Chain A
Amino acid sequence: MLSVLAAAVLAASPDGGGAVTLPAGRFAPLFGLDEGQKDFAVAAFRLDVRPVSRAEFAAFLEASPAWRPDSVSRQLAEERYLASSKDAHSPRAPVVDVSYFAAKAYCAWRGQRLPTTLEWEYAAAADEVTRDASGDPAFVQRILDWYSRPSRPGELDLEGSPRNVYGVEALHGLVWEWTSDFNAVFVTADNRQDGEQPAGTMCGAGATGSARREDYAAFMRYALRSSLSARSTLPTLGFRCAGAAR
Chain B
Amino acid sequence: MVVLLGLVVSVVGALPAEKAVMTQPPLVPPAITRTTPAKVTVELEVVEKVMQLADGVDYVFWTFGGTVPGSFIRVREGDTVELWLENSPHNKLPHNIDLHAVTGPGGGAASTFTAPGHKTRFTFKALNPGLYIYHCATAPVGMHVANGMYGLIYVQPKVPLPKVDHEYYVVQGDFYTDADFGVRGLQPFSMKRAIDERPSYVVFNGSALSLVGDRALKAKVGEKVRLFVGNGGPNLVSSFHVIGEIFDRVYLEGGQKTQEHVQTTLIPAGGSAIVEFKLETDGTFILVDHSLFRAFNKGALGMLKAEGAGNKEVYSGREMEDVYLGDESVASSVKATPVAPTAPVAADGKALYAANCAMCHQPEGQGLPGVFPPLAKSDYLAGITSSRRAEIVEFILRGKAGKLTVNGVEYNGVMTPVAGLDDVKLAAVINFVATSWGNKSAPYSTAEVKRYREALPPASAPEH
> Is A87 interfacial (CB 8 A cutoff)?
no
> Is A62 interfacial (CB 8 A cutoff)?
no
A190 to B195: give the CA distance in the assembly, Å: 16
Given A213-B192, A227-B114, A232-B115, A190–B92 Cβ distance below 8 Å? no
Given A188-B110, A216-B143, A148–B138 Cβ distance below 8 Å? no
- The residue of chain B having its C-beta at the shortest distance from the C-beta of A187 within the complex is B139
Neighbouring B residues of A42 by C-beta, 8 Å: none
Q: Across the interface, do B116 and A220 meet the contact criterion of CB distance under 8 Å?
A: no
- The residue of chain A having its C-beta at the shortest distance from the C-beta of B111 within the complex is A188
Contact of A226 among B94, B188, B192 (CB under 8 A): B94
Given A220-B139, A227-B94, A189–B113 Cβ distance below 8 Å? yes
Given A149-B60, A222-B139, A227–B192 Cβ distance below 8 Å? no
Given A235-B117, A236-B92, A209–B147 Cβ distance below 8 Å? no
Kindly provide the distance from the CB of A234 to the nearest chain B CB, expressed in whole angstroms: 5
Query: Could you give, for residues 72-110 of chain B, a 1 whenever the CB lies within 8 Å of some chain A CB and a 0 otherwise?
Result: 000000000000000011111110101000000010011
Q: Across the interface, do B106 and A189 meet the contact criterion of CB distance under 8 Å?
A: yes
> Is A193 interfacial (CB 8 A cutoff)?
yes
Kindly provide the distance from the CB of B106 to the nearest chain A CB, expressed in whole angstroms: 6
A193 to B98: give the CA distance in the assembly, Å: 13
A242 to B441: give the CA distance in the assembly, Å: 72
- Count residues on chain B whose CB falls below 8 Å from chain A CBs: 33
Neighbouring A residues of B292 by C-beta, 8 Å: none
Q: Across the interface, do A190 and B143 meet the contact criterion of CB distance under 8 Å?
A: no
Contact of A224 among B93, B118, B188, B195 (CB under 8 A): B93
The 7 closest A-B pairs by CB, nearest first: A227-B94, A189-B137, A227-B115, A189-B109, A150-B48, A223-B139, A188-B113
Given A144-B189, A144-B191, A188–B92 Cβ distance below 8 Å? no
Kindly provide the distance from the CB of B139 to the nearest chain A CB, expressed in whole angstroms: 5
Contact of A148 among B88, B106, B188, B195 (CB under 8 A): B188
A150 to B116: give the CA distance in the assembly, Å: 10
List residues of chain A with CB under 8 Å of any chain B CB. 80, 137, 141, 144-151, 176, 187-191, 193, 209, 212-213, 216, 219-220, 222-224, 226-228, 232-236
Kindly provide the distance from the CB of B412 to the nearest chain A CB, expressed in whole angstroms: 33
Neighbouring B residues of A147 by C-beta, 8 Å: 92-93
Given A141-B188, A188-B110, A236-B116, A151–B90 Cβ distance below 8 Å? yes
- The residue of chain A having its C-beta at the shortest distance from the C-beta of B95 within the complex is A227
Contact of B115 among A149, A220, A222, A234 (CB under 8 A): A234
Kindly provide the distance from the CB of A134 to the nearest chain B CB, expressed in whole angstroms: 13
Q: Across the interface, do B139 and A235 meet the contact criterion of CB distance under 8 Å?
A: no
A120 to B91: give the CA distance in the assembly, Å: 23
A/B interface sample: 16 pairs, CB < 8 A: A144-B188, A148-B188, A151-B90, A151-B91, A188-B96, A188-B113, A189-B110, A189-B139, A190-B109, A193-B109, A193-B110, A216-B143, A219-B139, A223-B93, A235-B116, A236-B116
Contact of B195 among A189, A209, A233 (CB under 8 A): A209
Query: Could you give, for residues 171-213 of chain B, a 1 whenever the CB lies within 8 Å of some chain A CB and a 0 otherwise?
Result: 0000000000000000011011001000000000000000000
Neighbouring A residues of B139 by C-beta, 8 Å: 187-191, 219-220, 222-223
> Is B141 interfacial (CB 8 A cutoff)?
yes
Given A80-B89, A188-B96, A234–B116 Cβ distance below 8 Å? yes
Neighbouring A residues of B138 by C-beta, 8 Å: 188-189, 223
Given A141-B188, A188-B110, A228-B115, A234–B137 Cβ distance below 8 Å? no
Kindly provide the distance from the CB of A85 to the nearest chain B CB, expressed in whole angstroms: 14
Q: Across the interface, do B147 and A216 meet the contact criterion of CB distance under 8 Å?
A: no
Contact of B92 among A151, A213, A228 (CB under 8 A): A151
> Is B49 interfacial (CB 8 A cutoff)?
yes
Given A148-B147, A189-B138, A223-B94, A234–B195 Cβ distance below 8 Å? no
> Is B140 interfacial (CB 8 A cutoff)?
yes
A209 to B190: give the CA distance in the assembly, Å: 12
In the complex, besides A144-B188, A188-B113, 13 extra interface pairs with C-beta distance below 8 angstroms are: A137-B192, A141-B188, A148-B147, A149-B92, A151-B90, A188-B109, A188-B138, A188-B139, A216-B140, A223-B139, A224-B115, A226-B94, A234-B117
- The residue of chain A having its C-beta at the shortest distance from the C-beta of B88 within the complex is A150
Neighbouring B residues of A228 by C-beta, 8 Å: 115
A45 to B315: give the CA distance in the assembly, Å: 79
A193 to B49: give the CA distance in the assembly, Å: 29
Residue of A145, A148, A151, A233 with most partner-chain B CB within 10 A: A148
Residue of A176, A191, A227 with most partner-chain B CB within 10 A: A227
Neighbouring B residues of A80 by C-beta, 8 Å: 89, 117
- The residue of chain A having its C-beta at the shortest distance from the C-beta of B106 within the complex is A189
A187 to B116: give the CA distance in the assembly, Å: 16
Kindly provide the distance from the CB of B340 to the nearest chain A CB, expressed in whole angstroms: 56
Contact of B191 among A146, A191, A213, A232 (CB under 8 A): A213
A176 to B93: give the CA distance in the assembly, Å: 10
Kindly provide the distance from the CB of B233 to the nearest chain A CB, expressed in whole angstroms: 14
Q: Across the interface, do B140 and A219 meet the contact criterion of CB distance under 8 Å?
A: yes
Contacting residues of chain B (127-143) with chain A, CB-CB under 8 angstroms = 137-141, 143
Kindly provide the distance from the CB of A209 to the nearest chain B CB, expressed in whole angstroms: 6
Neighbouring B residues of A219 by C-beta, 8 Å: 139-140
Q: Across the interface, do A212 and B195 meet the contact criterion of CB distance under 8 Å?
A: yes
A220 to B113: give the CA distance in the assembly, Å: 13
Neighbouring B residues of A233 by C-beta, 8 Å: 117
Contacting residues of chain B (37-53) with chain A, CB-CB under 8 angstroms = 48-49
Q: Across the interface, do B115 and A190 meet the contact criterion of CB distance under 8 Å?
A: no
Neighbouring B residues of A209 by C-beta, 8 Å: 192, 195
Q: Across the interface, do A216 and B191 meet the contact criterion of CB distance under 8 Å?
A: yes
Neighbouring B residues of A216 by C-beta, 8 Å: 140, 143, 191
Kindly provide the distance from the CB of A116 to the nearest chain B CB, expressed in whole angstroms: 21
Contact of A150 among B49, B191, B195 (CB under 8 A): B49
Residue of A151, A188, A220, A236 with most partner-chain B CB within 10 A: A188
- The residue of chain A having its C-beta at the shortest distance from the C-beta of B138 within the complex is A223
Q: Across the interface, do B92 and A150 meet the contact criterion of CB distance under 8 Å?
A: yes
Kindly provide the distance from the CB of A121 to the nearest chain B CB, expressed in whole angstroms: 16
